Amino acid sequence: MLKLSVEAQVFPLAEVFTISRGSRSEARVVVATLSDGAHAGRGECVPYAHYGESVDSVIAQIESMRDALAQGMDRLELQSRLPAGAARNALDCAFWDLEAKSAGKPVWELAGIDAPRAEITAFTLSLESPDAMREKARRHAARPLLKLKLGGEGDIERLEAVREGAPEARIIVDANEGWDRDAYERLAPMLVSLGISMVEQPLPAGQDAPLAEIERPLPVCADEACHDRTSLPDLVGRYDMVNIKLDKTGGLTEALALKREALASGFEIMVGCMVGSSLSMAPALLVAQGAAVVDLDGPLLLARDREHGMRFDADGIHPATSALWG
């Protein structure tokens, strides 16, 4: 019999974070805790309004599982009891953490994968004026991988400004569904000429069929168009890479399965995150092992991380300690 507790938590951001759909000054997360009386496991999720989620709706989804948990529902049964999304992510990761602490073994061992190592992660520059983005790029020019948020008028100027500010950095860009076919065809050659190595979700999910018809001069990654394994058939021929986020897959269980199937289908792998704390990044780093692109910089965008937060240094983001998760 498992006992459930769930709460909302707020983390102020170090700076206002803006994408093509809006701005935020704080990260609002939901943490689920499962206890068997001897051990407790935690999982964090980030509700995302773009997918019809709110803190209240996600908490309600998690609470709806209280009786099932008390009656013995396990992690595998959870996969069919809740849809892919933030609520299932929090519970799935709490199950993994609890299983690890109960067994006295790390999650990676229970999952049958190799021991994790540090991975270089992108650092995200949010959508601002070209001058502001140039200055921010200068401040972070020593980072090995920058991710640039685009998606509106002035994107060419932003691209040029960031490349000027960080002439040696590897750069990827994320349009967050902010372009149409004409904008992509106009901007793609500019991306190539500036040495951009990948573009993420240039066209809106559901309106991305043109990607199968036009030349893709640099790799195109599916983000909003890829949630779980059921997404993959529609992505073939349109995308070269998929962005796996646990808040979309509904947890580590599906994320690991999606990674295996995506690789078998010929996609490269990106592992990303919503803006959350290290408790969200810890399970994602297990999926990120060996990925072509890792974007787990959520804690770097916070004014403060939670206790026992993950370590970031020149080698990237390091695996969590068991005091945090797993």
**Residues, the chain, total?**
326
Strand partners, 40: 35
CA atoms of 151 and 179, how far apart (whole Å): 6
Of the chain, the end-to-end C-alpha distance in Å amounts to 21
CB-based contacts of 273, cutoff 8 Å, min separation 6: 46, 245, 246, 247, 280, 281, 284, 295, 296, 297, 298
CB-based contacts of 78, cutoff 8 Å, min separation 6: 65, 88, 91, 92, 95, 251
Residue 19 scores a pLDDT above 80: no
Share of the chain above pLDDT 90, in %: 90
Of 7-21, 223-237, 292-306, minimum mean pLDDT range: 7-21
Mean of the per-residue pLDDT values of the chain: 95
Structure tokens at 4: 């459930």
Left if phi > 0, otherwise alpha if psi is -120 to 50, otherwise beta: which for 171? beta
CA atoms of 2 and 223, how far apart (whole Å): 34
Cβ–Cβ < 8 Å for 112, 140: no
pLDDT band for 20, please (50, 70, 90 cuts): low
pLDDT, tens digit, for every residue of 239-281? Answer: 999 999 999 999 999 999 999 999 999 999 999 999 999 999 9
Catalytic residues, by residue number, are: 149, 245
Cβ–Cβ < 8 Å for 297, 273: yes
CB-based contacts of 260, cutoff 8 Å, min separation 6: none
